Structure 1
Amino acid sequence: MEALSLPTISVTNSNSNTYISLSAATNYASLSSLQHRPSSSTKHFTMKKSVVLVKAENEEDFELKQVRDMAAARKRWEALLRDEKIKVLTPREAGYAVQLSNKPLLDVRPSNEHNKAWVKGSTWIPIFNVDDGLDVGTIPRKITNFAMGGWWSGMPTLSFDNLFLPKVAEKFPKDAELIVACQKGLRSLAACELLYNAGYTNLFWVQGGFDAAEEEDLVVEGSAPLKFAGIGGVSEFLGWTDQQRAAAAKEGWGYRLVFSARLIGVFFVADALFIGAQQIGRYLQEIRTH
């Protein structure tokens, strides 16, 4: 992006005998100095001012860029679906294809979702996977992800797997009838686009992902229901996810009481921590006064 360039401006006020110099660098405006020069005296008094840096807004807002990128991706995906270059299946249709026709199902979810539940006989190759790195570039991303809602949803920091296409190529030829699925449907659609551009021509996308599947649609293995594989964090602990609310409507009050008890427990713990902090503060204050 072209840098913002500000000219050097000099302003002389003859009435007040004040000389002001404004100089500008590429991205900053700098108030460099203020000198007062009386005409009737040989004495010079120089006042040094602190340099004020004002960063120019010459970069597009990151969140706005993300929105634009997603909008562009959606247009590409809609075109692929509209032209039937990628065919659409419901979770039930995908289940029939896997169970009755032995069609391969490619699970592109990250490990935190796949390890909870998976479709029997599916092949797991994540397009994005959990980033376990602790390098200088990863730690700020982890902090940002946690602060922006990761603590609530339980979603870890993910990174694109550059070996996704080679891994798929090792398992499936490009003429294979490949069913691609993820938890909600977005990552699998992105995977379908990559696979189509790589030469795969018989792609089937599971619309809505596993979140849209009913229990009888797919044969599932793992420790949790398939719909619950994508939840986590504080929202799962308190039972405030859509999946848990739907389950509560079916299971009744017994299911709800578990999470109600957890919520009450959270309030008790928060109250105890608050009272404890007050007591510690008073104790430290007494130590200082003695």
Structure 2
Amino acid sequence: MAGTGFHTSCLSLSSSSNLGTCWLVLKTHNARALPGKLPGRRSLTLKAEVKFVNAEQAKELIAVDGYSVLDVRDITQFERAHIKSCYHVPLFVENKDNDPGTIIKRTLHNNFSGLFYGLPFTKPNPEFVQSVKSQIPPESKVLVVCQEGLRSTAAADRLEKAGFEDVACITSGLQSVKPGTFDTVGSKELQDAGKAGLVTIQGKISTVLGTVLVCAYLFITFFPDQAEKLFQLVPAG
């Protein structure tokens, strides 16, 4: 597609003869890894790269080129706002394991990141690729989206390695999408779907207060004896 600014890939050709080996490198769009042999001991190697586009280019991919949208965010962000008629397969799922190490990590997470940022405690989805393939054929054109662009990049890489032939991502994720760009479902705008927890309280004073409350909660949780001594020093009303 002209004018989209898509990333390109390299096409490398090598030819062996009595005079030595000659290498030719060409630029090509949307190539995939297709090892093969040419007559006369020539070899052909194609390497694919995921396309990175902005929101307007992504909209064109969907409307004009027929790309399917795959949302890889967690269920909470997805329910707040998502592109209409998209597929949803989270790259990470909630970690409900109950081994001692996981319980400690989950407690720490819920008392800080979970409380302050509203983030669930998760682990990689072991069924991610299989779940995607059950809904979207590998030969399909797929636009992978997440909130910040990190999970979609990781998901696109996994899908490309699993045989998907045409994968694209939105640079910086849905947080960079202006309202009205896509038809959406949910109570929030796409760019605000990642906002939760104490950070949603407006104002610097509220942010500082939230940080103090989190620190106080952690102190009381992990140092109850010391906290009780401090409370005893507070004058009675």
TM-score range, shorter chain: 0.5 to 0.7
Does structure 1 retain, via aligned residues, the 8 Å contact 2:66–2:141? no
Q: Tell me, in whole angstroms, the C-alpha distance in 2 between the residues paired with 1:138 and 1:225.
A: 33
Q: Pairwise CA RMSD of aligned residues?
A: 3.4
Please list every run of at least 4 consecutive aligned residues from structure 1 whose deviation after the TM superposition is greater than 6 angstroms. 282-285
Superposition map of 1:188-207 within 5 A? 188-207=152-171
Task: Please give the per-residue CA displacement for 1:240-267, whole angstroms capped at 9, x wherever unaligned.
Answer: 5xxxxxxxxxxxxxxxxxx98x78x98x
> Aligned pair count?
178
Task: Please give the per-residue CA displacement for 1:221-245, whole angstroms capped at 9, x wherever unaligned.
Answer: 1011111111111111x125xxxxx
Q: Which amino acid aligns with 1:224?
A: K
Which of 172, 178, 182 is the aligned partner of 2:146?
182
Change (3 A) 1:134 1:284: farther
Q: Which residue of 2 aligns with 1:208?
A: 172
Task: Please give the per-residue CA displacement for 1:128-160, whole angstroms capped at 9, x wherever unaligned.
Answer: 122244443432121232355332211121111
Q: Tell me, in whole angstroms, the C-alpha distance in 2 between the residues paired with 1:120 and 1:218.
A: 8
Change (3 A) 1:221 1:281: same
Task: Please give the per-residue CA displacement for 1:164-218, whole angstroms capped at 9, x wherever unaligned.
Answer: 0001111112111111110010000000110111111211111111001001211
Q: Tell me, in whole angstroms, the C-alpha distance in 1 between the residues paired with 2:83 and 2:98.
A: 32
Q: Which residue of 1 aligns with 2:202?
A: 239
Q: Which residue of 1 aligns with 2:26?
A: none
Does structure 2 retain, via aligned residues, the 8 Å contact 1:178–1:204? yes
Q: Tell me, in whole angstroms, the C-alpha distance in 2 between the residues paired with 1:168 and 1:283.
A: 57
Q: Which amino acid aligns with 1:154?
A: G
Q: Is 1:164 equivalent to 2:132 in the alignment? A: no
Q: Which amino acid aligns with 1:239?
A: Q
Superposition map of 1:43-122 within 5 A? 83=9, 85-122=49-86
- Structure with more of its chain in helix, by fraction: 1
Q: Tell me, in whole angstroms, the C-alpha distance in 2 between the residues paired with 1:152 and 1:208.
A: 22
Q: Is 1:220 equivalent to 2:184 in the alignment? A: yes
Counterpart of 2:182 in 1: which secondary structure?
A: coil
Q: Tell me, in whole angstroms, the C-alpha distance in 1 between the residues paired with 2:123 and 2:192.
A: 22
Change (3 A) 1:154 1:82: farther
Does structure 1 retain, via aligned residues, the 8 Å contact 2:129–2:159? yes
Which of 230, 234, 237 is the aligned partner of 2:194?
230
Counterpart of 1:200 in 2: which secondary structure?
A: coil
Q: Gaps spanning 5+ residues in structure 2: where?
A: 1-6, 10-29, 31-48, 214-227
- Tell me the percent identity: 22
- Structure with more of its chain in strand, by fraction: 2
Q: Tell me, in whole angstroms, the C-alpha distance in 2 between the residues paired with 1:149 and 1:123.
A: 27
Q: Tell me, in whole angstroms, the C-alpha distance in 2 between the residues paired with 1:116 and 1:133.
A: 26
Q: Tell me, in whole angstroms, the C-alpha distance in 2 between the residues paired with 1:179 and 1:125.
A: 13
Change (3 A) 1:89 1:283: closer
Q: Which protein is bigger by CA-based radius of gyration?
A: 1
TM-score (norm 1): 0.53
Q: Tell me, in whole angstroms, the C-alpha distance in 2 between the residues paired with 1:202 and 1:215.
A: 27
Which structure would you say has the larger RCO, counting Cα contacts within 8 Å and 6 or more residues apart? 2
